[in-house]
């Protein structure tokens, strides 16, 4: 059974810092990995999708990497801003299916 | 391009009642999945429908059921509601195995 772990559970940083969020998964037979952002009481916003054959994806100040063999992914946020404050969730999809297995998330607070 | 639409946004129900939630996926997406989110358990998979067929099911009791229509819209039903069913219910649509897009969710409160 696939299990996804995210470390740290919570993170507080001052504005302008670069930061890294970590995600690990137990079964390396994944189809893709997706990072999401969730604001309180809201739905999930897709940030980055990494296919299993890819090593990284970039979007603006965000960069996500994937090391399938070691079961790890990182989300790098450059020059953090207060608007980045949210919960960040990592999820993996097993081969051929759309079912996502989620981690518990990292709650990020960026202070002005 | 319209996103995933979930209705209603908020619901308050009494224990023992039943409830139906609706999800309209992004046009062209044939896969619809449902998830339950609670503070204690996080996001848990309920079921996935693809072309009107349930393709995968999570570990939830039979009180939770769903269906998908020919236009890919999906509904989930919870019968005999319990206090523990209070949660944010999220729907996601995707083309097969690719990027998933979520709706804003339905907040269900059981009293």
Q: Which of A42, A97, A102 sits opposite B97 (nearest CB)?
A: A97
- Determine which of B100, B101, B103, B108 to mutate to test the interface with A (most A C-beta atoms within 10 Å): B100
Separation CA A90–CA B58 (nearest Å): 19
Picking from A45, A15, A13, the residue whose alpha carbon sits closest to that of residue B3 is A45
- Give the model's pLDDT for residue A96: 63
pLDDT reading at B97 higher than 70: no
- Give the model's pLDDT for residue B98: 78
Task: Check CB contact under 8 Å for A42 and B104.
Answer: yes
Count of beta carbons in the 10 Å neighbourhood of residue A54: 14
Task: Check CB contact under 8 Å for B97 and A32.
Answer: yes
Kindly state the greatest CA–CA separation across chain B: 39
- Give the model's pLDDT for residue B2: 79
- Give the model's pLDDT for residue B1: 64
Count of beta carbons in the 10 Å neighbourhood of residue A12: 11
Q: Which of A34, A95, A96 sits opposite B100 (nearest CB)?
A: A34
Considering only CB atoms, which chain B residues are within 8 Å of A104? 42
Residues of B with CB under 8 A from a CB of A: 4, 6, 31, 33, 35, 42-43, 45, 48, 50, 55-56, 88, 90, 92, 94, 96-105, 107
- Give the model's pLDDT for residue A90: 97
Tokens of B62: 């039979």
Chain A residue closest to B98 (CA)? A98
Tokens of A73: 């992914």
- Give the model's pLDDT for residue A94: 81
Residues with pLDDT less than 70, chain A: 95-96
Q: Is the peptide bond before A97 cis (omega within 30 degrees of 0)?
A: no
Mean pLDDT of B67-95: 96
Tokens of B93: 């649509």
């Amino acid at each position: 059974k696939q299990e996804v772990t995210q470390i740290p559970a919570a993170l507080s940083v001052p504005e302008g810092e670069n930061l890294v969020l970590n995600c690990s998964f137990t079964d390396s037979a994944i189809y893709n990995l997706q990072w999401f952002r969730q604001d309180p009481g809201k739905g999930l916003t897709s940030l980055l999708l990494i296919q299993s054959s890819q090593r990284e994806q970039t979007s603006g100040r965000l960069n996500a990497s994937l090391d399938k063999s070691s079961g790890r992914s990182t989300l790098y946020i450059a020059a953090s801003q207060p608007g980045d404050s949210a919960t960040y969730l990592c999820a993996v999809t097993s081969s051929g299916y759309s079912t996502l297995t989620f981690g518990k998330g990292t709650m990020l607070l960026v202070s002005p | 391009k319209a996103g995933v639409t979930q209705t209603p946004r908020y619901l308050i129900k009494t224990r023992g009642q039943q409830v139906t939630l609706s999800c309209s996926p992004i046009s062209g997406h044939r896969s619809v999945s449902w998830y339950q989110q609670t503070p204690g358990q996080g996001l848990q998979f309920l079921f996935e429908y693809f072309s009107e067929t349930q393709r995968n099911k999570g570990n939830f009791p039979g009180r939770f059921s769903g269906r998908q229509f020919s236009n890919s819209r999906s509904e989930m039903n919870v019968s005999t509601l319990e206090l523990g069913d209070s949660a944010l219910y999220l729907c996601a649509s995707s083309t097969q195995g690719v990027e998933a897009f979520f709706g804003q969710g339905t907040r269900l409160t059981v009293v």
